[in-house]
Structures are given as structure tokens and as C-alpha cells.
Amino acid sequence: MTEQYVYFFAQNNAEGNRTMRDTLGGKGANLAEMAGIGLPVPPGFTISTDVCGLYFEAGNKIPPEVEEQILTNLRKLEETSGLTFGDAANPLLVSVRSGAKFSMPGMMDTVLNLGLNDKTVEDLAGKSGGRRFALDCYRRLIQMFSDVVLEVPKKKFEDRLKEKKAELGITNDSEISEDQWKEIVDIFKGIVKQEAGVDFPQDVKEQLFMAVSAVFRSWHNPRAITYRRLNHISDDLGTAVNVQLMVFGNYGETSGTGVGFTRDPATGAKELYGEYLINAQGEDVVAGIRTPSPLKELEGDMPEMFRELKETTTALEKHYGDIQDFEFTIQEEKLYMLQTRSGKRTGQAAVKIAVDLVEEGLTTKEKALMLVEPGSLDQLLHPVFDNEEKSAAEILVKGLAASPGAASGQVVFTAEEAVAWKQEGREVILVREETSPDDIHGMSASQGFLTATGGMTSHAAVVGRQMGKPAVVGCGAIVLNEKDSSFQVGSTVIREGDNISIDGATGEVLLGEIKTRPSEILQVVRGKIRPEDSEIFGYFTKFLSWADEVRRMDVRANADTPEDAEVAFAFGAQGIGLTRTEHMFFDKERLPFIKKMIMSESEDDRRANLDQLLPFQRKDFYELFKAMHGNPVTIRTLDPPLHEFLPKKEELMVEIVELKASGRGDAEKIRELEVVLERVQALSEFNPMLGHRGCRLGVTFPEIIEMQARAIFEAACQLSQEGEKVLPEVMVPLIGGVEELANQKEIIVRIAEELIEQYGVELEYTVGTMIEIPRAAITADQVAREADFFSFGTNDLTQMAFGISRDDGAGFINHYLTHGIWKDDPFMTVDIDGVGELMKWAVEKGRRTRPDLKVGICGVHGGDPRSIFFCHRIGLNYVSCSAYQIPIARLAAAQVTLQERSA
């Protein structure tokens, strides 16, 4: 018995069903499903995706056994419809459409009205009661067929039609007479002959097989390839081809066509949503020549049809347990369903729909959790533009959409200005070539950031996501002119103080001010709206509580300040997975001490300056612990290279030369700068990412880690004395092997024990390490001898596993992504083959030494759903992400648990 390559479907009689997307494609599977449950679907058949591969293997030929099955199904379709393909009396007309497993809208080809030729067109003319209509269909077929099958550009036909209308002095297609359409059909046939060198085929079976072949070929057209690349769809899947009885929405005033959703995809409101046109074909709705009407008006136009549509789609929604996006055609007051699929929706709608579906009994909590794309929750946490104002605004330029949300404000070019202007009550957008840790205070004072360089994981992008502020980065078209305090895009100059708006979800930079609406969820979290006054907050909370019931991994936050920690706690963080202690040093009050500490000539001098920093750090930790209410707080010891705290070398050099040349500078000032320059030069590194930082600082300057350990445990002991629960986890960064960890741990434990004894408290604490150096992952069995926990620093791990600096890679990474060399940016989603393998080894080897080893992740990947799935699969105990990504992580962690259960 030969394999089945073609699957028939007709109302209550379908060989396929919705589970067969691999074989039938999305469209084919849903047509079969709808037909199978008795919905009014025009009959037809689906040629399976397997044939796509066979077609290419056979050298772009449909294999004979498939041809045979197609003909068999064609006969079945003739029987079902009572029509005959190519018969002058009762001709069967069909559409031929592509349909891959994953929707690729508009990427592949479609031919309608197939089966028309010089003879059958006459029958259609007779039946439809309009020769004009039939001829219009025919010329459309010629045009579409030639474009798709014979590669004669559509434009050739359109131009000729335009010419013809000009000759006739006609502007509107509807004014073209029957005879004129006949003439146009002949002209079109002439174009085919001239351009393709063949006659338009009158043999309808030839038409069919040529069209099917063309649809298969369209799988490899450049735009389809690009689309797949961008959407991570494998080239191997292939497309199915759906051959289906034509129905005509343009059959007259009792016909029509439309598209819709079973609920409002923007808000989630439970009402039919969509639009339709009377006496029109699907393409007319899209073409925009006529303005379609809102779907609810169909109730007035065709009440019976509206009722039937509503019943049908409600049944569909119930059947699928999810909001449906459908297409329908009405031919002479008969409803046909042409497509259904899960409806795309906004994050807000997704949450509301998921909860409503459960409460309406249409689905289960577990299934509802799978209905929301984790990343879409982000939309609920950011301000959004007023839609009307935004569509009126001029788009200046587009950059990378690095941190979602909408922001409007006046342009400033330095962090200092941002702070100053903010204090005057102005809202600002900070525009920089690239931001650095020095800019943190300015970023904190801004509504959003715009940078000319840097990628999705540049400083501005990471800080944006962490602070929950919009950022557009890597906007290469921007030319900054810092001296003039302006920037330029083409000939447009934007000066300091000018208003711009940025949309961090799209990457758009718009001219002028656009009103924004703050996130309602955030308003609640920040205490500006009472929870009970926000409907969406209620939905959000309920939905995530279901996720919490399911998930196995804990979710923690990366938080550097008590404020961050409070937001994180409000979002459901079960602890802090990463506190970057150095971020505390950039504060204006503290920076002088850290600078002095670095300039110290001796250890004593350094210790003296560290003593000045101790009270600040202690206070930070005290408040952080307090904000987390006894949940674990992971504190990372000092990580960045010391020169990050000093001025830049070239700036100092230029300043000195300028001072000397101008004669302004007194000798003392110059000498002072020269001393700083010397230290900066001594500390300067060719590759600071691979330099003297992380635990290497703590090992070579133990007094630094001593101060930090002291600050941590004084704070913890104090709180403990006050009767609060505290759970500090001290984390050593950038170890390459167990030796460094042992060295640092000895210091931390010594000081902890000293202080615990001194305060006379009982205090639980752990000491662990980042796994962010490949060697640490490789030797994890050794490292685990000293580590109570591991936390994957996937930013550095990715940098080092790939040998690529995030800061420098943007240019060629973009090239790699757009040229399909890489499918994903490994700085956004864990690279499973390389970095992921290291992580897997580290977990396995680590637990071989210490079976109860706690393992988490605190790199940016901790907030990326696909990476979270991976973390679950390799057995991590928790993920840690920015406060604003906690909802995403809670949901993603639940989804992967559910996937696992169903696998």
C-alpha cells in the first residue's frame, strides 16, 4: 500500500484533523477539523507537506503516485460538489493555496478561480447571471496564474489595465463593460504569450498541476526564506497545498466576505470583532479600495448570517478552547468558513482571555497557561502611547527595540543634564553614543534612552529592561554632535531641549511629544492605584497565581537597590538572585571614596578608604535584606575592573594637553591630572572584560572583599538581632576554578563567623559562586567542593564561550543574524549547543560532587522564555531576572513544567 499524500475534507467527512499540522500544515489541519466537526467548509483536499520535500528531491516534479492521488481526490471533489473540472456545463472551480505548519502570512503563493478557461468561463457567466463577473474572474485567474506560475510580473497586467482604462476614459473597474472585459482577457492572454512564451493553458488539469508545483516552489522564494530565518522556522518543514472548491463572496448583494476574532484581540472583551464587505472577495478586504464595515454591523445587514456566524465561531472557540481568528465567505446567503486559527492578541487581552476562558468553563487552568506568550506580559508593564497621537506623529528613524514601553521628553546629551533637568521638573530622553555605568544616575532621571551604537544586550538595553524604562539602541542613522548639543538624522537636526518620543517595543523614534498612558499594573505595584480598583491587575494576579501552582523552578530578581527589591517582591520574586554591589559605588556620595581607594599607594591607605565605604554598603544591605522579608538575598562581591571608576584615559590626555597649550592650567592642577592619568594608565587594559576584575580583585586585594563581607554580615547580624529573618548568600564572581573560590570563601566565612560570634546571633548563610567562565563550568565537580550554590552568569559565559564581547559584537552579530549564519542572538537566548552544553555539564558535574547543590541563573537570559525553558530542562532550581521580567519568568517556568508533563 502506498503512503497517503493527499487528504480529503468535506463537511462531516474529513480525513485529517487539527492534530495533523505537521502533515497538513496549519490551514489544512484546521480546514479538516472544521469540516470534521460539521462546520460549513467548502470541500477540497490537502496535499501533504511531505510532498514538498519529494517534489524538490525529484528535481521539481510531482511524483507519479502523488499525481494519481491528486486525481483521485479531484474526482471525489467532483462527486461531492456535483461539478466537473473543466466541464463546460458544470465546471468545478478551485482555489490553490499554500499552508505550512507555521503561519507565514503573505509569504507564499495562492491562485484563485482555477478551472476557468475560454469554455468554462461561459458557464460561470450563465450561472452567476453576469458575464462581467465571470470575465473579471477569468482575467484575475490569468493574472494570478501568470504571476505565480509563469513568473510574469503582476505589474505588466496592472499597467496594461491602467492604460486601457485611460484609453477608455474610465477610472473605476466597475465602469468597465462586459465587452471591454472580454477584450482585456484577450490582451492579458497576449501578455502571457509575449512574456512567458507560452499560451495561457486551457487544459484545466495542466492549470492545476502547474499551480500546485508553483506553490511548492514558492517555499523557496527569497521572502519565504527570510521570513523563516527571522521566525526560526526550519527550511525542512515544507508547505502543504490546499485545493478547495471556490466560493464567491462577490456573487452579488447577498454575498460577502470577512475576517474576525471571537473576542477583541486588543482588550480581550468577549464580542465578535472584525470586518466584512458585501459583494466582495477576500482580497478586496485587504486591498483597501473599499472600506470594510465592523463585523457587528453584519447583524443589521444580514441578521440570519450574523446569527449563524456567531453560533459557528462560538462553537469553534469552544472546540479549540481559545480565541479564534477566522475567515468566512457568504455566497448567496450561505455561510462558508474558509479558515480558523488561534488569534494573535495583545498581552493584556491574552491574560484576560485566558482567565475568562477558564471561568467560562471553556478550558482548564493548565491549558489557559499555555495560551499566553510569556514575553507578551511585558506589554502590561510599560507605558503605551495614545494611539491617535502616535499615528499622527512623524517617525524620525528606527533603531533596535531594546526595552519596551513608550516615553516622551526633551532631549539631553549627558547624564548630568538629565539629573539637572529632571530636578527642574522636566521629562527628558537621554541620547548618547552609548551609555556606561557612569551614566546610571542620568538614566535613572530619564524617561527613556536612545543610543547610536550597541545591540540588544548593550548597557543601555540591559539597564532599560532592568529599570523598566524604554530604550531604543543601535540607531546607526543618528549622528551625534556633542559639541553642538545636537544630533542629526539625514538633514533633520534635533537640539537639546527638543521633544522626541521613543517606542521601545518597535524601535521607533518620533518627533515631538506624544501623550503616554502609564501601565496600570505598575501603578498598582507602585501604590498609585488600589489593587481592587484595577480589573486588569486582578486578572494578572489570578493568572500568575495559577502559574505559581504549576511551576517547579523558583523565580528571583536581580536587584541592586532596596527600591528594585520592593518592586521585585511586589511582582512575586522569591528572593534576590543577584545584587551587583558595585552599582552602589557609582552614587555621587560614594564615588570619591572608591576613587581614593583605587588611587591608594599602600594597603593601609586602601583599608582606610574602604573603611569609609563600609557604612554605605552596610546600609544598602540592611535595606535590601529588609525589603526581601527573609527571602534569600544573593550578594555578589565586587566585579568590575577598577578603572571603570576612574575617568577615561584619552579624556585625561586631551585635558592635560589642552591645559598645557592654553597656558590656563596651573602646574598643580596639571600635576594632579597627571597623577590620575598615571594610575589610569597603570590600570588600563587591552581587554578589560578579560582583565583584573571579579574575584581576581578580591584575591589580589583581600581587603576589598573583607570590607564587603563585613558590610554584609554586620547588616545581617543587626537585622537578626532585631528579630528579622535574613538569609544572605554571598556569591563570588568570575572564578575560573575551585582555588579562587576557596581563597575568597575562607575570607568570607572567617569574617561571617567572627561577626556572628560578636553579635551573638544565629544566622544561616551560604557561600557560592557565579559560573560564568567556561573553565568554571568544565571543572564544576571541583568547584562544587567549595560552593553551596552555583549561579550561571550567562552574559559572561556567552561572551567567553563564543569569544565575543557584547559591547563590540553588535556589528557583526547583526550581519550574522541577517545573513542567516546564526538563527538567534546568543546574548538574548541561551545558545543550547555551546553555552547550554557547558551549563548542562556544570549542573551534572556539580551535583555529582554535591547532590543538593542549588543552581540558578542570573544573566539576562534569566528573563528570556526560551532560555527559561532550557534552564528547567537541565534542572535549575531558580531563575533570576530583572524585576519587570518576573511575571514572564513565572509564566515561562510554569509552561515548561506543563510541557514536560505532557511529553
Cα–Cα distance between 333 and 319 in angstroms, integer?
Answer: 25
Cα–Cα distance between 374 and 504 in angstroms, integer?
Answer: 18
Cα–Cα distance between 628 and 610 in angstroms, integer?
Answer: 27
Tell me whether residue 191 or residue 835 sits nearer to a second copy (CB atom).
835
Q: Please report how close the Cβ of residue 301 comes to a second copy at its closest, in angstroms.
A: 55
Tell me whether residue 643 or residue 850 sits nearer to a second copy (CB atom).
643
> Which candidate, 67, 15, 68, places its Cα nearest to that of 46?
15
Tell me whether residue 75 or residue 660 sits nearer to a second copy (CB atom).
660
Q: Which residues contact 76 (CB under 8 A, 6 or more apart)?
A: 8, 45
The three cell numbers of residue 401 are: 527595540
Tell me whether residue 442 or residue 641 sits nearer to a second copy (CB atom).
641
Tell me whether residue 183 or residue 739 sits nearer to a second copy (CB atom).
739
Which entry of 459, 583, 643, 861 is annotated as an active-site residue? 459
The three cell numbers of residue 91 are: 465546471
Cα–Cα distance between 805 and 690 in angstroms, integer?
Answer: 10
Give the pairing of strands 478-481 and 486-489.
antiparallel
Side-chain half-sphere CA neighbours of 609 within 13 A = 18
Q: Judge whether 761 and 724 are in contact, CB under 8 Å.
A: no
896: left (phi over 0), alpha (psi -120 to 50) or beta: alpha
What are the residues facing 509 on neighbouring strands?
397, 502
In 3-state terms, what secondary structure has residue 871?
A: helix
Q: Please report how close the Cβ of residue 678 comes to a second copy at its closest, in angstroms.
A: 11
Tell me whether residue 409 or residue 774 sits nearer to a second copy (CB atom).
774
Q: Judge whether 329 and 249 are in contact, CB under 8 Å.
A: yes
Q: Please report how close the Cβ of residue 550 comes to a second copy at its closest, in angstroms.
A: 33
Q: Please report how close the Cβ of residue 649 comes to a second copy at its closest, in angstroms.
A: 6
Q: Judge whether 328 and 336 are in contact, CB under 8 Å.
A: yes
> Which candidate, 41, 1, 53, places its Cα nearest to that of 17?
41
Tell me whether residue 523 or residue 743 sits nearer to a second copy (CB atom).
743
Tell me whether residue 653 or residue 670 sits nearer to a second copy (CB atom).
653
Q: Which residues contact 317 (CB under 8 A, 6 or more apart)?
A: 262, 263, 323, 324, 362
Tell me whether residue 601 or residue 833 sits nearer to a second copy (CB atom).
833
Active site residue 475: no
User: What residues make contact with a second copy under the rule CB under 8 A?
Assistant: 649-650, 653-654, 657-658, 661-662, 685-692, 696, 699-700, 734, 736-737, 739-740, 743, 772-775, 778-779, 782, 796, 799-805, 807-809, 811-812, 815-816, 819, 821-822, 831, 833-835, 837-838
Tell me whether residue 724 or residue 739 sits nearer to a second copy (CB atom).
739
In 3-state terms, what secondary structure has residue 395?
A: strand
Cα–Cα distance between 316 and 871 in angstroms, integer?
Answer: 36
Q: Please report how close the Cβ of residue 470 comes to a second copy at its closest, in angstroms.
A: 25
**Angle (nearest 5°) at CA 515 between 509 and 520:** 105
Q: Please report how close the Cβ of residue 580 comes to a second copy at its closest, in angstroms.
A: 18
Q: Please report how close the Cβ of residue 748 comes to a second copy at its closest, in angstroms.
A: 16
Query: Helix and strand tally (H, E) in the chain?
Result: 35, 32
Q: Please report how close the Cβ of residue 450 comes to a second copy at its closest, in angstroms.
A: 19
Q: Please report how close the Cβ of residue 796 comes to a second copy at its closest, in angstroms.
A: 7
Tell me whether residue 749 or residue 817 sits nearer to a second copy (CB atom).
817
Cα–Cα distance between 379 and 480 in angstroms, integer?
Answer: 30
Cα–Cα distance between 298 and 302 in angstroms, integer?
Answer: 6
Q: Quick count: other Cβ atoms within 10 Å of Cβ 760?
A: 9
Compute CA distances 174 → 132, 168, 514, 564, whole Å: 9, 13, 42, 63
Cα–Cα distance between 196 and 188 in angstroms, integer?
Answer: 12
Cα–Cα distance between 281 and 278 in angstroms, integer?
Answer: 9
Active site residue 459: yes
Cα–Cα distance between 20 and 520 in angstroms, integer?
Answer: 41
In 3-state terms, what secondary structure has residue 256?
A: strand
> Which candidate, 155, 59, 44, 140, places its Cα nearest to that of 99?
44
What are the residues facing 494 on neighbouring strands?
487
Tell me whether residue 31 or residue 838 sits nearer to a second copy (CB atom).
838
Q: Judge whether 531 and 524 are in contact, CB under 8 Å.
A: yes
Burial class, 437, CB count within 10 angstroms (exposed 0-12 / middle 13-18 / buried 19+)? middle
Which entry of 137, 717, 858, 881 is annotated as an active-site residue? 858
The three cell numbers of residue 197 are: 512564451
Compute CA distances 12 → 15, 38, 39, 42, 80, whole Å: 10, 5, 8, 11, 12
Q: Please report how close the Cβ of residue 858 comes to a second copy at its closest, in angstroms.
A: 17
Burial class, 61, CB count within 10 angstroms (exposed 0-12 / middle 13-18 / buried 19+)? middle
Cα–Cα distance between 352 and 875 in angstroms, integer?
Answer: 31
- The residue to which cell 549622528 is assigned: 479
Q: Please report how close the Cβ of residue 693 comes to a second copy at its closest, in angstroms.
A: 9
Amino acid 57 reads E
Crossing angle of helices 738-759 and 702-721, rounded to 10°: 40
Tell me whether residue 469 or residue 693 sits nearer to a second copy (CB atom).
693
Q: Please report how close the Cβ of residue 779 comes to a second copy at its closest, in angstroms.
A: 5
Q: Please report how close the Cβ of residue 780 comes to a second copy at its closest, in angstroms.
A: 11
- Catalytic positions: 459, 858
